[in-house]
Amino acid sequence: MSSASRLKLFWLSDANTAHTERWVRALAARGHEILLFSFIRPHRDVFASIPGVRLESANLPSDLVYATDGSLGKIAYMRAVPTVRALAKKFAPDVCHTHYVSSYGIVGMLAGLRPRVASIWGSDVYTTPFRSVVHRLAIHSVLRTANTVLSTSWVMREQGLRICRRDMRVVPFGIDINRFVPPATSREPGRPVVIGTVKSLEPKYGIDVLIEAFAIVRQEFGSLNPQLLIAGGGTRRAEYESLVDRLGLRDTVTFTGSIEYSKVHEVHQQLDIAVFPSVEDSESFGVSVIEAQACARPVIVSRVGGLPEVIGEGRTGLVVPPRDKVALARAIGTLLEDPQRARALGEAGRAHVCATYGLEHSTDLLEGEYRQLV
Protein backbone atom coordinates (compact mmCIF):
# COMPACT_ATOMS: atom_id res chain seq x y z
CA MET A 1 0.00 0.00 0.00
CA SER A 2 1.36 3.42 -0.90
CA SER A 3 1.90 6.01 1.83
CA ALA A 4 -0.87 8.08 0.24
CA SER A 5 -3.34 5.21 0.72
CA ARG A 6 -2.22 4.36 4.23
CA LEU A 7 -4.37 5.84 6.99
CA LYS A 8 -3.48 6.75 10.55
CA LEU A 9 -6.38 5.55 12.68
CA PHE A 10 -6.97 6.49 16.32
CA TRP A 11 -9.27 3.86 17.84
CA LEU A 12 -10.95 4.22 21.23
CA SER A 13 -12.30 0.78 22.11
CA ASP A 14 -12.17 -1.99 24.69
CA ALA A 15 -8.99 -3.94 24.03
CA ASN A 16 -10.48 -7.04 25.66
CA THR A 17 -13.24 -7.63 23.14
CA ALA A 18 -12.79 -10.04 20.26
CA HIS A 19 -14.51 -7.49 18.00
CA THR A 20 -11.78 -4.93 18.63
CA GLU A 21 -9.00 -7.43 18.02
CA ARG A 22 -10.65 -8.69 14.83
CA TRP A 23 -11.13 -5.24 13.29
CA VAL A 24 -7.68 -3.99 14.30
CA ARG A 25 -5.97 -7.04 12.83
CA ALA A 26 -7.89 -6.69 9.58
CA LEU A 27 -7.12 -2.98 9.22
CA ALA A 28 -3.46 -3.41 10.16
CA ALA A 29 -3.14 -6.20 7.58
CA ARG A 30 -4.11 -3.60 4.96
CA GLY A 31 -1.19 -1.42 5.99
CA HIS A 32 -2.97 1.12 8.15
CA GLU A 33 -1.25 2.50 11.26
CA ILE A 34 -3.41 2.21 14.38
CA LEU A 35 -3.20 3.76 17.82
CA LEU A 36 -5.60 1.93 20.11
CA PHE A 37 -6.70 3.52 23.38
CA SER A 38 -8.49 1.34 25.95
CA PHE A 39 -9.72 2.14 29.45
CA ILE A 40 -8.37 -1.23 30.55
CA ARG A 41 -5.39 -3.32 29.49
CA PRO A 42 -6.21 -6.57 27.69
CA HIS A 43 -6.03 -9.86 29.55
CA ARG A 44 -3.67 -11.04 26.80
CA ASP A 45 -1.27 -8.64 25.08
CA VAL A 46 -2.35 -9.64 21.58
CA PHE A 47 -1.77 -6.23 20.04
CA ALA A 48 1.98 -6.14 20.69
CA SER A 49 2.48 -8.73 17.94
CA ILE A 50 0.49 -6.85 15.28
CA PRO A 51 2.74 -4.68 13.07
CA GLY A 52 1.67 -1.05 12.91
CA VAL A 53 -0.45 -1.19 16.07
CA ARG A 54 0.27 0.56 19.38
CA LEU A 55 -1.82 0.18 22.53
CA GLU A 56 -2.29 2.88 25.16
CA SER A 57 -4.39 2.33 28.27
CA ALA A 58 -5.89 4.37 31.10
CA ASN A 59 -5.36 1.34 33.38
CA LEU A 60 -8.77 1.72 35.00
CA PRO A 61 -9.95 -1.11 37.29
CA SER A 62 -11.99 -3.80 35.55
CA ASP A 63 -14.79 -3.67 38.13
CA LEU A 64 -15.37 -0.04 37.12
CA VAL A 65 -15.12 -0.58 33.37
CA TYR A 66 -17.47 -3.57 33.40
CA ALA A 67 -19.97 -2.16 35.90
CA THR A 68 -23.57 -1.62 34.79
CA ASP A 69 -23.66 0.69 31.80
CA GLY A 70 -24.44 4.27 32.80
CA SER A 71 -23.38 3.80 36.44
CA LEU A 72 -22.44 6.99 38.28
CA GLY A 73 -18.96 5.66 39.03
CA LYS A 74 -18.12 5.78 35.34
CA ILE A 75 -17.69 9.53 35.66
CA ALA A 76 -14.08 8.41 36.24
CA TYR A 77 -13.85 8.00 32.46
CA MET A 78 -13.61 11.77 32.22
CA ARG A 79 -10.11 11.60 33.71
CA ALA A 80 -9.02 10.06 30.40
CA VAL A 81 -10.04 13.10 28.33
CA PRO A 82 -6.71 15.01 28.68
CA THR A 83 -4.77 11.82 27.88
CA VAL A 84 -6.84 11.13 24.77
CA ARG A 85 -6.51 14.74 23.64
CA ALA A 86 -2.71 14.61 24.06
CA LEU A 87 -2.41 11.27 22.25
CA ALA A 88 -4.42 12.60 19.31
CA LYS A 89 -2.34 15.76 19.08
CA LYS A 90 0.90 13.78 18.94
CA PHE A 91 -0.37 11.00 16.67
CA ALA A 92 -2.21 13.32 14.25
CA PRO A 93 -4.69 10.70 12.99
CA ASP A 94 -6.55 10.84 9.70
CA VAL A 95 -9.65 9.38 11.37
CA CYS A 96 -10.68 8.88 15.00
CA HIS A 97 -13.09 6.01 15.68
CA THR A 98 -14.86 5.71 19.05
CA HIS A 99 -16.67 2.48 19.91
CA TYR A 100 -19.58 2.44 22.35
CA VAL A 101 -21.23 5.82 22.52
CA SER A 102 -21.81 5.95 26.28
CA SER A 103 -18.13 5.56 27.17
CA TYR A 104 -15.46 6.00 24.51
CA GLY A 105 -17.88 8.09 22.46
CA ILE A 106 -18.32 10.64 25.25
CA VAL A 107 -14.58 10.78 25.93
CA GLY A 108 -13.83 11.24 22.23
CA MET A 109 -16.36 14.05 21.95
CA LEU A 110 -15.04 15.87 25.02
CA ALA A 111 -11.46 15.45 23.77
CA GLY A 112 -12.48 17.21 20.56
CA LEU A 113 -11.42 14.39 18.26
CA ARG A 114 -11.96 15.15 14.54
CA PRO A 115 -12.90 13.72 12.16
CA ARG A 116 -14.76 11.38 14.47
CA VAL A 117 -16.63 8.15 13.75
CA ALA A 118 -18.96 6.96 16.51
CA SER A 119 -20.04 3.30 16.57
CA ILE A 120 -23.12 2.23 18.52
CA TRP A 121 -22.90 -1.23 20.03
CA GLY A 122 -26.10 -2.06 21.89
CA SER A 123 -26.95 -0.97 25.43
CA ASP A 124 -25.48 2.47 24.68
CA VAL A 125 -28.64 3.18 22.65
CA TYR A 126 -31.05 0.58 24.04
CA THR A 127 -30.52 1.19 27.76
CA THR A 128 -28.29 4.11 28.75
CA PRO A 129 -30.35 6.94 27.16
CA PHE A 130 -33.36 5.91 29.25
CA ARG A 131 -31.64 6.03 32.63
CA SER A 132 -32.17 9.80 32.96
CA VAL A 133 -32.52 13.01 30.98
CA VAL A 134 -28.79 13.64 31.47
CA HIS A 135 -27.88 10.25 30.02
CA ARG A 136 -30.11 10.83 27.00
CA LEU A 137 -28.65 14.28 26.35
CA ALA A 138 -25.12 12.89 26.55
CA ILE A 139 -25.81 10.10 24.05
CA HIS A 140 -27.66 12.51 21.75
CA SER A 141 -24.71 14.92 21.83
CA VAL A 142 -22.21 12.23 20.86
CA LEU A 143 -24.37 11.07 17.95
CA ARG A 144 -25.17 14.59 16.78
CA THR A 145 -21.57 15.86 16.78
CA ALA A 146 -19.88 12.82 15.18
CA ASN A 147 -18.90 13.14 11.53
CA THR A 148 -20.13 9.59 10.90
CA VAL A 149 -22.28 7.23 12.97
CA LEU A 150 -22.07 3.49 12.35
CA SER A 151 -24.27 0.61 13.46
CA THR A 152 -23.60 -3.10 13.02
CA SER A 153 -27.25 -3.90 12.24
CA TRP A 154 -30.31 -2.27 10.69
CA VAL A 155 -32.46 -2.87 13.75
CA MET A 156 -29.92 -1.11 15.99
CA ARG A 157 -29.73 1.74 13.47
CA GLU A 158 -33.47 2.23 13.92
CA GLN A 159 -32.97 2.39 17.67
CA GLY A 160 -30.19 4.93 17.22
CA LEU A 161 -32.47 7.08 15.09
CA ARG A 162 -34.96 7.20 17.96
CA ILE A 163 -32.26 8.99 19.96
CA CYS A 164 -30.90 11.26 17.24
CA ARG A 165 -32.37 11.82 13.78
CA ARG A 166 -29.36 11.91 11.48
CA ASP A 167 -27.67 9.80 8.84
CA MET A 168 -26.42 6.48 10.21
CA ARG A 169 -24.64 3.82 8.21
CA VAL A 170 -24.62 0.04 8.68
CA VAL A 171 -21.29 -1.79 8.72
CA PRO A 172 -21.79 -5.29 10.14
CA PHE A 173 -19.24 -7.20 12.13
CA GLY A 174 -17.34 -9.68 9.98
CA ILE A 175 -15.77 -13.02 10.78
CA ASP A 176 -12.99 -15.11 9.27
CA ILE A 177 -14.89 -17.47 7.00
CA ASN A 178 -11.69 -19.42 6.39
CA ARG A 179 -11.45 -20.32 10.08
CA PHE A 180 -15.13 -20.71 10.88
CA VAL A 181 -15.81 -23.64 8.58
CA PRO A 182 -17.83 -26.87 8.73
CA PRO A 183 -16.25 -29.78 10.63
CA ALA A 184 -13.64 -31.69 8.67
CA THR A 185 -15.32 -35.02 9.44
CA SER A 186 -18.98 -36.00 9.30
CA ARG A 187 -20.96 -36.86 12.41
CA GLU A 188 -20.34 -40.38 13.68
CA PRO A 189 -23.42 -42.64 13.63
CA GLY A 190 -24.83 -43.18 17.08
CA ARG A 191 -23.05 -40.23 18.66
CA PRO A 192 -25.23 -38.28 21.10
CA VAL A 193 -26.82 -35.17 19.65
CA VAL A 194 -25.12 -32.04 20.98
CA ILE A 195 -27.20 -28.91 21.48
CA GLY A 196 -25.37 -25.84 22.66
CA THR A 197 -24.45 -22.20 22.73
CA VAL A 198 -21.34 -20.03 22.85
CA LYS A 199 -22.22 -17.02 25.00
CA SER A 200 -21.27 -15.18 28.17
CA LEU A 201 -23.15 -16.48 31.19
CA GLU A 202 -25.04 -13.25 31.80
CA PRO A 203 -28.80 -12.64 32.20
CA LYS A 204 -29.38 -11.01 28.80
CA TYR A 205 -28.41 -14.17 26.91
CA GLY A 206 -31.19 -16.39 28.25
CA ILE A 207 -29.03 -19.36 29.25
CA ASP A 208 -31.58 -20.30 31.92
CA VAL A 209 -34.28 -20.49 29.23
CA LEU A 210 -32.06 -22.82 27.20
CA ILE A 211 -31.47 -25.10 30.20
CA GLU A 212 -35.20 -25.30 30.95
CA ALA A 213 -35.98 -25.99 27.27
CA PHE A 214 -33.31 -28.69 27.23
CA ALA A 215 -35.02 -30.41 30.17
CA ILE A 216 -38.16 -30.69 28.03
CA VAL A 217 -36.13 -31.99 25.07
CA ARG A 218 -34.55 -34.67 27.26
CA GLN A 219 -38.00 -35.90 28.24
CA GLU A 220 -39.26 -36.12 24.66
CA PHE A 221 -36.10 -37.26 22.85
CA GLY A 222 -34.33 -39.32 25.48
CA SER A 223 -33.62 -42.07 22.93
CA LEU A 224 -31.25 -39.70 21.10
CA ASN A 225 -29.39 -39.04 24.37
CA PRO A 226 -29.12 -35.27 23.68
CA GLN A 227 -26.36 -33.38 25.45
CA LEU A 228 -26.14 -29.66 26.23
CA LEU A 229 -22.85 -27.78 25.82
CA ILE A 230 -22.67 -24.29 27.33
CA ALA A 231 -19.46 -22.52 26.35
CA GLY A 232 -18.46 -19.26 27.98
CA GLY A 233 -17.68 -17.66 31.30
CA GLY A 234 -19.69 -15.14 33.27
CA THR A 235 -21.17 -14.04 36.55
CA ARG A 236 -24.17 -16.41 36.51
CA ARG A 237 -22.38 -19.72 36.15
CA ALA A 238 -23.10 -20.87 39.73
CA GLU A 239 -26.77 -19.95 39.32
CA TYR A 240 -27.06 -21.89 36.06
CA GLU A 241 -25.24 -24.90 37.49
CA SER A 242 -27.68 -24.88 40.37
CA LEU A 243 -30.58 -24.85 37.90
CA VAL A 244 -29.06 -27.82 36.08
CA ASP A 245 -28.86 -29.73 39.37
CA ARG A 246 -32.46 -28.92 40.31
CA LEU A 247 -33.66 -30.21 36.94
CA GLY A 248 -31.65 -33.42 37.29
CA LEU A 249 -29.49 -32.68 34.24
CA ARG A 250 -26.02 -32.82 35.75
CA ASP A 251 -24.88 -35.81 33.67
CA THR A 252 -26.05 -34.30 30.39
CA VAL A 253 -24.90 -30.66 30.64
CA THR A 254 -21.32 -29.46 30.25
CA PHE A 255 -20.06 -25.99 31.18
CA THR A 256 -16.73 -25.26 29.50
CA GLY A 257 -15.96 -21.95 31.17
CA SER A 258 -14.29 -19.15 29.23
CA ILE A 259 -13.02 -20.07 25.77
CA GLU A 260 -10.11 -18.37 24.03
CA TYR A 261 -11.36 -16.81 20.83
CA SER A 262 -8.80 -18.78 18.84
CA LYS A 263 -10.66 -21.95 19.93
CA VAL A 264 -14.25 -20.76 19.51
CA HIS A 265 -14.66 -22.24 16.03
CA GLU A 266 -13.83 -25.68 17.42
CA VAL A 267 -16.70 -25.39 19.90
CA HIS A 268 -19.18 -24.41 17.20
CA GLN A 269 -18.08 -27.41 15.14
CA GLN A 270 -18.97 -29.75 18.01
CA LEU A 271 -22.61 -28.67 17.96
CA ASP A 272 -25.40 -30.32 16.03
CA ILE A 273 -27.81 -27.49 16.85
CA ALA A 274 -26.68 -24.01 17.94
CA VAL A 275 -29.10 -22.04 20.14
CA PHE A 276 -29.03 -18.33 21.05
CA PRO A 277 -32.06 -17.54 23.25
CA SER A 278 -31.22 -13.93 24.21
CA VAL A 279 -33.93 -12.02 26.06
CA GLU A 280 -32.97 -8.36 25.53
CA ASP A 281 -33.10 -6.17 22.43
CA SER A 282 -29.61 -4.89 23.22
CA GLU A 283 -28.44 -8.14 21.63
CA SER A 284 -28.17 -6.06 18.51
CA PHE A 285 -26.19 -8.25 16.14
CA GLY A 286 -25.21 -11.76 17.16
CA VAL A 287 -21.63 -12.52 16.15
CA SER A 288 -21.84 -15.97 17.71
CA VAL A 289 -24.83 -16.67 15.48
CA ILE A 290 -22.96 -15.94 12.28
CA GLU A 291 -19.96 -17.90 13.56
CA ALA A 292 -22.19 -20.94 14.08
CA GLN A 293 -23.76 -20.47 10.65
CA ALA A 294 -20.32 -20.23 9.05
CA CYS A 295 -19.62 -23.65 10.57
CA ALA A 296 -22.81 -24.88 8.82
CA ARG A 297 -24.64 -25.39 12.11
CA PRO A 298 -28.45 -24.96 12.06
CA VAL A 299 -29.30 -22.13 14.44
CA ILE A 300 -32.24 -21.16 16.61
CA VAL A 301 -32.51 -17.59 17.88
CA SER A 302 -35.03 -15.60 19.88
CA ARG A 303 -36.93 -12.70 18.38
CA VAL A 304 -34.94 -9.90 19.98
CA GLY A 305 -32.68 -7.17 18.65
CA GLY A 306 -30.72 -8.03 15.55
CA LEU A 307 -30.76 -11.83 15.89
CA PRO A 308 -33.57 -12.50 13.35
CA GLU A 309 -31.82 -10.10 10.96
CA VAL A 310 -28.65 -12.16 10.71
CA ILE A 311 -30.29 -15.51 9.94
CA GLY A 312 -32.98 -14.79 7.38
CA GLU A 313 -35.92 -16.37 9.22
CA GLY A 314 -36.81 -19.82 7.96
CA ARG A 315 -33.99 -19.87 5.41
CA THR A 316 -30.91 -20.36 7.56
CA GLY A 317 -32.45 -20.86 11.00
CA LEU A 318 -35.51 -20.80 13.25
CA VAL A 319 -36.84 -17.92 15.36
CA VAL A 320 -38.78 -18.31 18.63
CA PRO A 321 -40.33 -15.83 21.09
CA PRO A 322 -37.95 -14.74 23.88
CA ARG A 323 -38.26 -16.35 27.33
CA ASP A 324 -40.49 -19.12 25.92
CA LYS A 325 -38.93 -22.43 26.96
CA VAL A 326 -41.74 -24.47 25.41
CA ALA A 327 -41.41 -22.80 22.00
CA LEU A 328 -37.64 -23.20 22.16
CA ALA A 329 -37.93 -26.89 23.05
CA ARG A 330 -40.39 -27.34 20.18
CA ALA A 331 -37.96 -25.70 17.71
CA ILE A 332 -35.12 -27.92 18.88
CA GLY A 333 -37.40 -30.94 18.53
CA THR A 334 -38.28 -29.91 14.98
CA LEU A 335 -34.63 -30.13 13.98
CA LEU A 336 -34.06 -33.37 15.90
CA GLU A 337 -36.98 -34.98 14.06
CA ASP A 338 -35.82 -33.76 10.65
CA PRO A 339 -32.01 -34.05 10.35
CA GLN A 340 -32.23 -33.36 6.62
CA ARG A 341 -33.85 -29.99 7.25
CA ALA A 342 -31.29 -29.22 9.93
CA ARG A 343 -28.50 -29.98 7.47
CA ALA A 344 -30.10 -27.81 4.78
CA LEU A 345 -30.44 -24.88 7.19
CA GLY A 346 -26.79 -25.23 8.16
CA GLU A 347 -25.61 -25.27 4.55
CA ALA A 348 -27.78 -22.25 3.70
CA GLY A 349 -26.41 -20.45 6.74
CA ARG A 350 -22.84 -21.02 5.61
CA ALA A 351 -23.63 -19.58 2.17
CA HIS A 352 -25.44 -16.62 3.72
CA VAL A 353 -22.52 -15.69 5.99
CA CYS A 354 -19.94 -16.05 3.23
CA ALA A 355 -21.95 -13.67 1.04
CA THR A 356 -22.77 -11.12 3.73
CA TYR A 357 -20.57 -11.27 6.81
CA GLY A 358 -17.06 -12.19 5.69
CA LEU A 359 -14.40 -10.12 7.45
CA GLU A 360 -12.88 -8.90 4.18
CA HIS A 361 -16.24 -7.59 2.99
CA SER A 362 -16.95 -5.85 6.30
CA THR A 363 -13.47 -4.33 6.32
CA ASP A 364 -14.06 -3.02 2.80
CA LEU A 365 -17.17 -1.23 4.06
CA LEU A 366 -15.41 0.22 7.11
CA GLU A 367 -12.42 1.34 5.09
CA GLY A 368 -14.78 2.99 2.63
CA GLU A 369 -16.37 5.03 5.42
CA TYR A 370 -12.93 6.20 6.54
CA ARG A 371 -11.92 7.24 3.04
CA GLN A 372 -15.10 9.27 2.60
CA LEU A 373 -14.09 11.28 5.67
CA VAL A 374 -10.49 11.74 4.52
121-138 pLDDT, tens digit each: 988 999 999 999 999 999
Q: Which residues, 6 or more positions from 134, have their beta carbon under 8 angstroms from its beta carbon?
A: none
State the average pLDDT over residues 130-148. 96
pLDDT of residue 360: 94
pLDDT > 90: what percent of the chain? 78
Given pLDDT bands bounded at 50, 70 and 90, which one contains residue 191?
confident
Cβ atoms of 345 and 182 within 8 Å: the answer is no
Cβ atoms of 286 and 306 within 8 Å: the answer is yes
**194-356 maps to CATH 3.30.1370.30:** no
Please report, for the chain, the start and end positions of each structural domain, with discontinuous segments joined by +: 8-174+358-373, 194-356
3-state SS of the chain?
Answer: CCCCCCCEEEEECCCCCHHHHHHHHHHHHCCCEEEEEECCCCCCCCHHHCCCEEEEECCCCHHHHCCCCCCHHHHHHHHHHHHHHHHHHHHCCCEEEEEHHHHHHHHHHHCCCCCEEEECCCHHHHCHHHCCHHHHHHHHHHHHHCCEEEECCHHHHHHHHHHCCCCCEECCCCECCCCCCCCCCCCCCCCCCEEEEECCCCHHHCHHHHHHHHHHHHHHCHHHCCEEEEEECCCCHHHHHHHHHHCCCHHHEEEEECCCHHHHHHHHHHCCEEEECCCCCCCCCCHHHHHHHHCCCCEEEECCCCHHHHHCECCCEEEECCCCHHHHHHHHHHHHHCHHHHHHHHHHHHHHHHHHCEHHHHHHHHHHHHHHHC
Average pLDDT, the chain: 92
pLDDT of residue 44: 73
The model's pTM:
0.84
pLDDT of residue 175: 93
Task: Tell me: pLDDT of 190 over 90.
Answer: no
pLDDT of residue 76: 81
State the average pLDDT over residues 79-99. 97
Task: Tell me: pLDDT of 69 over 90.
Answer: no
Backbone angles phi, psi at 148, to 5 degrees: -140, 140
274-304 pLDDT, tens digit each: 999 999 987 878 899 999 999 999 999 999 9
301-360 pLDDT, tens digit each: 999 988 998 987 778 899 999 999 999 999 999 999 999 999 999 999 999 999 999 999
pLDDT of residue 45: 78
165-175 pLDDT, tens digit each: 999 999 999 99
CATH class in words for 8-174+358-373 = alpha beta
Backbone angles phi, psi at 297, to 5 degrees: -95, 135
pLDDT of residue 262: 84
Task: Tell me: pLDDT of 2 over 70.
Answer: no
Q: Do domains 8-174+358-373 and 194-356 have the same CATH topology?
A: yes
pLDDT of residue 61: 72
